[in-house]
Structure 1
Amino acid sequence: MVAPVLEVSHVFCCPNRVRGALSWSPGHGGLLAFGTSCSVVLYDPQKRVVVTNLNGHTARVNCLQWICKQNGSPSTELVSGGSDNQVIHWEIENNQLLKAIHLQGHEGPVYAVHAVYQRRAADAVWHTLIVSAAADSTVRLWTKKGSEVTCLQTLNFESGFALAVCLSFLPNTDVPILACGDDDCRIHLFVQQDDQFQKVILLRGHEDWIRGVEWAAFGNDLFLASCSQDCLIRMWKLYIKSTSSEAQDNIRLKENTFTVESGSIKITFAVILETVLAGHENWVNAVHWQPSFYKDGVLQQPMRLLSASMDKTMILWAPDEESGVWLEQVRVGEVGGNTLGFYDCQFNEDGSMIIAHAFHGALHLWKQNTFNPREWTPEIVISGHFDGVQDLMWDPEGEFIITVGTDQTTRLFAPWKREDQSQVTWHEIARPQIHGYDLKCLAMISRFQFVSGADEKVLRVFSAPRNFVENFCAISGQSLNHVLCDLSQDGSLPEGAAVPALGLSNKAVFQGDIASQPSDEEQLLTSTGFEYQQVPFQPSLLTEPPTEDHLLQNTLWPEVQKLYGHGYEIFCVACNNSKTLLASACKAAKKEHAAIILWNTTSWKQIQFSVSLPSPTKSLLCTVELFGPVIGVLIVNISSLGVETKRYVVAIGLECGKICLYTWRKTDQVPEINDWNRCVETSQSQSHTLAIKKLCWKNCNGKTKQSEEEDGDWLHLASCGEDHTVKIYRVNKCAL
């Protein structure tokens, strides 16, 4: 098999900050799908790698859903809706995109989708029934047969909005039923009759907007779970109403009944409120049943319900075995940090893992203990920026990447190398800076020191603490003694960093500061009850990538210097190859502010303050010019293919998100046109979906621990863009 010229090695991203942008495929080894910017990402939680990207939307992906198969096997189709007013049906084969069908008709952003397989009596062929809700106050129903898609019906909610939708089938029939959770605090139930959905009943009870609805079949009964901003979960039971006469003195709940016709037989159904679950203290954003599965050829539906709330918790509910009363079984969530709760939640195929999607895009994964089912432990999961990534840099040794973004964070990604596994996966292992301004630029001063610039007038310098170095070496397989010797000659390395109660900068924490911290009992006795409770830094020795809670509170780098001099927001910063000079510039509306400041990286004093003037001959300006109606080039980066060959590879990032690779040979004569060769460009699934902000080749001379064969045959290119994504590509030098 011929090796590809370019392949995606690692991807760092997180879900969009919307409800419904997360779905876990049922069936063994199911993939986790989530929306990142304009893409749908398929992630394998077992292998901890991104399998592929589904690029087709032109605006943010708001919602998606795997289509469950009747036989319980892993799903191969999913639907997604976006702010581009369209729904896309994706068909997957061997974890790669096979076909994408665009469903157009909505006049507003789509924010809820669901789909089921339906066997229609007319042709006895399986169809896909799709429902979508949008901001145009409509719910559209589509039917897909092969590659042909037809809009069956449009349900108009006039001035209201359907915020959640879910399809199922009435008990003992093939008649679809649709539940729509509305902003009028009611659940609208529709049943298909003669290919048209008719409203049959309204379920009242919630006192605020309904955020989630989901059906589950238990024998001959159909249960509907609904959640709302009133902090409550309601469970409704739908069943076939018995025609036999019953005793009038029995105390029974009020029934809501309706009649449908199925195969020339009229059946009466009743809906009652089964129970109300109260346990959350804030909006409940999502409810999901554990997926059904086949056991001994019989479809089993576990009676377990998962809910996610803005109170930072996720609760697993189940009925008591003796009384049948629904009780809270497990409660997990976030502790500390500047977080605002969960948007969504999901079960894996057998209910042994649960995942939550937090307000700031982070994923939280928990796994059930095999020996103690009531114990759940955090697991490692993908992470990344939740807004545009503006800049990135490889460290001089090529062992990790630092990125900055408009989500006001600086993140550090490094490989996790394990002795028992040959495959190396990359993870976020530190969040050195959590800022109050959008971060714009970055420059590496040394291996463990960097400068960042944001939408403020100040440049900030950060240095790595001892605890980070220890954890970095343990996770990536580096020699701790060697790294510490290079890092600090005087032994005065701080242990970590923390933000003071009334401060805005990361303050260094030394060993003596940790020892002097009072115990919990002392704090309780001396506290007045009105003091701000500062979360102190606590050193932790890790052997695997940290969880989100640890990243938020325990991985800051101390700020060692502030550089003042610019009059407006910092725009760019760069360091020379010898790491002795730092250059920075800011936004400017007047000539006197259009300056480049040079800084000495040892004393941090200004060396030169020069006003930028255009070169009359343009001889000092390197530009890339495009002729004709083509997409603009935003970033260019060059790497050598070998001193002997005098060949170079040029990576060009485009505004549309594509990356093009060219090779160029240096000659003694004037370069000719045939010295440039276009080698390859990224495919649709490999490309970014929005403008590329930075490309950076890994230093070929870095002291990496990879095999000589890999170092000799592959180059590594890192990219970041406005689509919230950071990618690492492997480029085959032999194929260029």
Structure 2
Amino acid sequence: MTPDARAQLEYIAAGGNRHPSSADWTPGLLAFGAGINVALWNPDDEKTSGIWALLAGHTDAVNAVKILDFDDRRFIITGASDNTVRVWRQTTDADSSVPSFEESQCLKDHSSAVNTIATLPGTGVFASGAADGTVRIWQLEEGGEKIELVQAISLKPRFLPLATALAKLPSGETVLAVAGTTAVVQIYVQAGDQFELQATLSGHEGWVRSLDFLAESGNDLLLASASQDKYVRLWRFRRGDDAEADGGAGVSGIEPVKKSLSNKAHRVGSAADQYAVTFEALLVGHEDWIYSARWAPSKSGEPSTLMTASADNSLSMWSIEEASGLWVCQTRLGEISSQKGSTTATGSTGGFWIGLWQPEGKAVVSLGRTGSWRRWAYDAASDSWLQQPGISGHTQEVQSVAWAPDGSYLLSTGLDQTTRLYGEWKRDGTKSWHEVARPQIHGYDLNCITTLTPHQFVSGAEEKLLRVFNKPKATHALLSLLSGNKDTISEEDLALPDAANIPVLGLSNKAITAVDDTTTPEPSADPTTASLNPRTDSGDPTTSSIVPASTLTLSQPPVEDHLARHTLWPEHEKLYGHGYEISCVAANATGSLIATACKASSLDHAVIRLYETRDWREIRPPLAAHTLTVTSLAFSPDDRFLLSVGRDRQWALFERSAEGSEHAYALRKANPKGHSRMILDCAWAPSGGVFATAGRDKSVKVWRVTAEDVELVKTMPVEAPVTALAFAPAIAGGVVQMASGTEQGRIGIVSVDVDGEGWEGAKVEAVRRDLGPARAVTSLRWRPCRKGDGESEQVRELAVASEDGALRLLGVL
């Protein structure tokens, strides 16, 4: 590829990694692990523009993220399952509204996955703990240009560190707390240049997942340790010999503690300046493992507050009650008890893995099992925490993307078994992209997707059938409201279902009818309407089957709880016939015909099946040409041709019959040597009669259909196997554009002047590397032209799906 195609990043959707240490928040920046990348996001951004960059460098999942300010420069320190610790240095001004970072150091001293990182603000000191059973202490020097390994601590008795914390004792010594796959917390204190184990704090009955220090007024330190035993323990570091011996005075709980609480005083520090470490309080109230514990930013005159995130789907805020002097839960955010125990398909979050405070303490965020961030902001007027839109994205590989035929929304589907819908939110001169619905939450990995009409799409998964879905009224109304589209509602729109739910232990979304807020629906005895009022064994309608109309009415993008529960699309039809997992699907321009193929290793299964969408019947016989899996299908813009490519290195061109059914296709031409290696994708040019193919032979080939044959027009070499192709849907200014994506994550743009030299002088121009994914591009789709779009210098939008788990939206000139 030759540089440089003009492109800009408009939107990134990426889910967070489920690891308690994989995120950190400082003023203007929240950094978190998103697959193998590090995502940068500002939750306080009034424009809600979401993630503005992904830092690529790690080759495996990012498990630990910490932000460190040192020598007037900001650093992000990350650890991953690739056994490395990487240091990212800010390259823009410290007060930049959108800072950028570059990798400055890669530390390869660990021999196993890095699971925790702790920093000591203002000193350049940080610690990393890994599954090799060691904790390593590092020192940034020379403004971050150099990093020195201060000490490598081998944990004895051996355990795997999952949580670390660093703090300064008032005497100036550094204290390090380490915990993990053991029930104890080890306390190390710096003596000279080395850290020595000086205390072992026992009491927990499960693994300890989080540690956090708080410097209290009066020269005391508080350490919070959160464990899988469902409890949080607080430990006080007090200078001198005046430590209280009574361990019961500060104990908080709502149920009796089964075993006595020992309050043995541990002595740490130097001989001349000793500290007593005593058990301070036991926080009881969570019903499942506690993954995260974070102290609120300390404020003069205000009580200390600890926030915990648990697998019981709640965030709890703990502080001392003035009347009793006990630590109690003052605020609880998350799901209510009646919603717990539900399956992921009916909206269970699967627990909260991370809870973070805004640096000013006026907002909190939490990461759940679905990879989405929830955000709550404190409202002083109502003295309550109000949930606000967060960000979301796939948590595994994104396999396929598809635009609505009118360009009103974008669909993506992937190996996290979800289909997600994204739309624009336009208000007050500001535009941002958000996940607006989650139409499909499945039990199989999803491989491919295409839209039939603005109200209908079809997806294929690791199962032998395809599923067709209809848009519900709630999604249609919300998309129209957010985009500012005031088009008149058609009869087709009025016929849309209200909403959908998915029965427990089921895979098929069922249409449901919203009820008036003042109406209590009666359970139906008619089995034909059971989907409207599914019943539990006790006879009560389930909460997911009764949706008040007001619940579905929104004025802004939905929060995660709403996305997971109320934005499913009802399933309209299933399409059977294939013998193995679905590999690809395509629809013709009018949406009247679907072509599909499945994984195959023989001629019998490597067939293309056609389904007409009026009566949803298969058109027989299936089209045969390939001997191995068909990897991609594409109809020509005028629906005259159907193109297929496959792992058998050939492409096949089928032509619509001149006589008989409009849906009858027959083989016109097959090229068994179209490429020297397997062909991975194909696409049609908007001008008609021209198509492109690409594959593992590191080339893109352009072909022209003539009256007698199909001729090769141009072969363009690329430096890596090409995994995705897409043509812009229309010719703008006499130029046709084609996008290509490679196995290395590079994106190229080919611009061809159809009135000039044409394809003869075509070259692949590379999009800037930092705008592309860190792994293979799996799918590319240009946004269809919308009403009122001109052919001037408008920015065309290109959706990019990739194996790094992120969906990107690029604006290309």
1:213–1:564 CA distance, 2 compared to 1 (3 A): same
2:503 aligned to which of 500, 503, 506: 500
1:349-406 Cα distance to aligned partner (Å, 9 max, x none): 1211111111221212111112233x11111011111111110011112121011111
Distance 1:517 1:247 in 2: 60
SS at match of 1:67: strand
SS at match of 2:544: coil
For 1:458, the equivalent position in structure 2 comes to 465
1:426-480 Cα distance to aligned partner (Å, 9 max, x none): 1111111111111110011011110000000111111112222112212221125
Q: In 2, are the aligned partners of 1:218 and 1:301 still within 8 Å (CA)?
A: no
Residue 697 of structure 1 aligns to which amino acid in structure 2? W
Q: Confirm or deny that 1:475 pairs with 2:482.
A: yes
Bigger mean CA offset, 284-293 vs 428-437: 284-293
For 1:384, the equivalent position in structure 2 comes to 393
Tell me the TM-score normalized by structure 2. Answer: 0.79
Q: In 2, are the aligned partners of 1:290 and 1:301 still within 8 Å (CA)?
A: no
Q: In 1, are the aligned partners of 2:752 and 2:759 still within 8 Å (CA)?
A: no
Q: CA deviation at 1:626?
A: 2.2
Q: In 1, are the aligned partners of 2:266 and 2:278 still within 8 Å (CA)?
A: no
Distance 1:314 1:251 in 2: 25
SS at match of 1:623: strand
Distance 1:380 1:273 in 2: 39
Tell me the TM-score normalized by structure 1. Answer: 0.87
Residue 167 of structure 1 aligns to which amino acid in structure 2? L
Aligned residues: 687
Q: CA deviation at 1:422?
A: 1.6
Q: Confirm or deny that 1:304 pairs with 2:305.
A: yes
1:134 aligned to which of 130, 134, 152: 130
What are the within-5 Å matches in structure 2 for residues 580-595 of structure 1?
580-595=592-607
For 1:677, the equivalent position in structure 2 comes to 763
Task: Structure 1 unaligned segments of length 5 or more: list them.
Answer: 119-126, 520-525
Q: CA deviation at 1:537?
A: 4.6
Fraction of identical pairs, as percent: 32
Q: Confirm or deny that 1:665 pairs with 2:677.
A: no
2:408 aligned to which of 399, 415, 424: 399
Q: In 2, are the aligned partners of 1:86 and 1:106 still within 8 Å (CA)?
A: yes
Distance 1:15 1:251 in 2: 40
Q: Confirm or deny that 1:690 pairs with 2:694.
A: no
Task: Structure 2 unaligned segments of length 5 or more: list them.
Answer: 251-261, 340-346, 524-534, 627-649, 651-669, 675-690, 700-716
Distance 2:278 2:328 in 1: 19
Q: CA deviation at 1:45?
A: 1.2
Q: Confirm or deny that 1:186 pairs with 2:184.
A: yes
What are the within-5 Å matches in structure 2 for residues 403-552 of structure 1?
403-418=412-427, 421-479=428-486, 482=488, 484-485=489-490, 487-488=492-493, 491-501=494-504, 503-510=506-513, 517-518=521-522, 529=538, 533=542, 535-538=544-547, 539=549, 540-552=552-564
Distance 2:571 2:537 in 1: 31
1:571-609 Cα distance to aligned partner (Å, 9 max, x none): 100012232221100011222011101111222222241
1:102 aligned to which of 74, 99, 106: 106
What are the within-5 Å matches in structure 2 for residues 299-378 of structure 1?
303-335=304-336, 336=339, 337-373=347-383, 375-378=384-387
SS at match of 1:90: strand
Q: CA deviation at 1:640?
A: 6.4
Q: CA deviation at 1:696?
A: 0.7
SS at match of 1:381: strand
1:403-435 Cα distance to aligned partner (Å, 9 max, x none): 1111111110001112xx322111111111111
1:140–1:274 CA distance, 2 compared to 1 (3 A): same
1:315-368 Cα distance to aligned partner (Å, 9 max, x none): 011112343321111001135323321111001012111111112212121111
Residue 633 of structure 1 aligns to which amino acid in structure 2? V
1:392–1:537 CA distance, 2 compared to 1 (3 A): farther
SS at match of 1:475: helix
Residue 415 of structure 1 aligns to which amino acid in structure 2? E
Distance 1:281 1:648 in 2: 59
SS at match of 1:591: coil
Distance 1:723 1:439 in 2: 16
Distance 2:806 2:32 in 1: 13
1:208–1:592 CA distance, 2 compared to 1 (3 A): same
1:463–1:223 CA distance, 2 compared to 1 (3 A): same
Distance 2:298 2:75 in 1: 18
SS at match of 2:430: coil
Distance 2:608 2:5 in 1: 42
Distance 1:339 1:99 in 2: 34
For 1:626, the equivalent position in structure 2 comes to 698
SS at match of 2:481: helix
Q: CA deviation at 1:135?
A: 0.8
1:502–1:324 CA distance, 2 compared to 1 (3 A): closer
